Amino acid sequence: MSRIALPQYLANADVAPELQSIILGLADVSINISKSLAKGALAGILGAAGAENVQGEDQKKLDVIANDMIKDALAAIPAVRGLASEEETDVVPCHTNGSFLVTFDPLDGSSNIDINSMVGTIFSVLPHSGTEVVTEQDFLQPGRHQSAAGYVLYGPSVMLVLSIGKGVVMFTLDQDVNNYLMTDAEVAIPADAKEFSINMSNQRHWVAPMQDYIADLMAGKDGPRGKDFNMRWVAAMVADVHRILCRGGLFTYPWDSRKPDQAGKLRLMYEANPMGYLVEQAGGEVWTPDGKILDIQPEHIHQRVPVILGAANEVALCVDYHQR
């Protein structure tokens, strides 16, 4: 069976050549990142980098390596007006004629690096319509404005999952020829869920409605939901959302009373918005307790947000517990 390669998909879908160049550039650099990850300890790239990022988190060597690789790749693409990364304090201006801005999480799930577990790269492409030399202000667009979004999952196989606003497609890396080939043309999340995903160890720090909602899931057949739920937590948003795109379910990372001034753990512009765009494009829902995430007007490139996403009916119910 002959499969459609990523460049062919983009051409068939009439994606603007500038946008194609960005998606293909990200795909190429992700292949190089996957090779570094595969070498692991042999390449001496595991462990801490010995520095902190702007969010006060300890950087792993691979956070820095992946960030530098993606930054260099994007800076070489004329269509990129500017970029913003989890691992960069400020936005980085690129080409003054570029039409697009790119935000990215170079390595998502960093705590999995040293245990040879799944990690990913998340990216979001926004149109540029602001100043000649980009400023942070130019990036502060609602997720609804994204021109494309996606992620690469570095798992047993390397997969690139993409939306250009025409549904969600999945590609798998053919490692022999370094080509991403389409392996799922129409990703859809069922409206009802059988599985949920949350870091249960934080339970006592959530708001009461979230505690009540999860308690009712945990009560299974004997509780108000009248059915049993399964639970999974990979500790890499990419991998948890990938599972939801493959077989459904609900994912949430709620607000936590230990950091009352922090809206949540996940970052709006390079985690929640791109993953949210994919989930909505696959028929799912993406909310905070107060409203749809893709409608949020960002105030800062590194701002955080509580996230409830996945199966439409389950997300609606979880939000309803908060709004009752």
Q: Does 240 bind Mn ion (CB under 5 A)?
A: no
Q: Does 110 bind ligand AHG (CB under 6 A)?
A: yes
Closest CB to ligand AHG among residues 197, 281 = 197
Assess contact for 184 and 172: CB atoms under 8 A.
Answer: no
Indicate which single residue of 94, 169, 236, 279 sits in contact with ligand AHG (rule: CB under 6 A). Answer: 236
Least Cβ distance, residue 117 to ligand AHG (angstroms): 12
Indicate which single residue of 108, 256, 280, 314 sits in contact with Mn ion (rule: CB under 5 A). Answer: 108
Give the span between the Cα atoms of 89 and 317, in whole angstroms.
Answer: 37
Q: Within a 13 Å sphere around the CA of 79, how many CA atoms are in the beta-carbon half? A: 18
Q: Does 276 bind ligand AHG (CB under 6 A)?
A: no
Question: Could you please report the per-residue DSSP string of 133-179?
Answer: S--HHHH---GGG-SEEEEEEESSSEEEEEESSS--EEEEEETTTTE
Least Cβ distance, residue 174 to ligand AHG (angstroms): 27
Q: Within a 13 Å sphere around the CA of 279, how many CA atoms are in the beta-carbon half? A: 35
Closest CB to Mn ion among residues 108, 240 = 108
Which partner in ligand AHG, Mn ion, none is near 73 (CB below 5 to 8 A by kind)?
none
Which partner in Mn ion, ligand AHG, none is near 236 (CB below 5 to 8 A by kind)?
ligand AHG
Assess contact for 214 and 254: CB atoms under 8 A.
Answer: no
Q: Does 235 bind ligand AHG (CB under 6 A)?
A: yes
Give the span between the Cα atoms of 220 and 228, in whole angstroms.
Answer: 4
Give the span between the Cα atoms of 38 and 153, in whole angstroms.
Answer: 13
Closest CB to ligand AHG among residues 37, 237 = 237
# residues contacting ligand AHG (CB under 6 A) = 13
Assess contact for 32 and 16: CB atoms under 8 A.
Answer: no
For 218-223, which contacts have Cβ atoms below 8 Å and span 24 or more sequence positions? none
| Residues between 49 and 88 with contacts to Mn ion, criterion CB under 5 A | 86
Closest CB to ligand AHG among residues 170, 241 = 241
Q: Does 298 bind ligand AHG (CB under 6 A)?
A: no
Laid out side by side, the sheet with 285-287 consists of: 230-231, 195-197, 250-253, 307-310, 285-287
Q: Which span sits near Mn ion by CB under 5 A: 53-61, 101-109, 163-171, 285-293?
A: 101-109
Q: How do strand 250-253 and strand 285-287 relate by DSSP bridges?
A: unpaired
* Total Cβ atoms within 10 A of residue 49: 16
Closest CB to Mn ion among residues 296, 312 = 296
Least Cβ distance, residue 10 to ligand AHG (angstroms): 27
* Total Cβ atoms within 10 A of residue 122: 28
Closest CB to ligand AHG among residues 205, 292 = 205
Indicate which single residue of 62, 64, 101, 108 sits in contact with ligand AHG (rule: CB under 6 A). Answer: 108
Least Cβ distance, residue 74 to ligand AHG (angstroms): 18
Closest CB to Mn ion among residues 108, 314 = 108
Closest CB to Mn ion among residues 110, 281 = 110
Angle made by CA atoms 185, 188, 192, in degrees to the nearest 5: 165
Identify the helix (H) or strand (E) that includes residue 38. Answer: helix 17-39
Indicate which single residue of 23, 164, 198, 237 sits in contact with ligand AHG (rule: CB under 6 A). Answer: 237
Q: Which residues bind ligand AHG (CB under 6 A)?
A: 57, 86, 105, 108-111, 199, 235-237, 253, 265
Q: Which residues bind Mn ion (CB under 5 A)?
A: 86, 105, 107-108
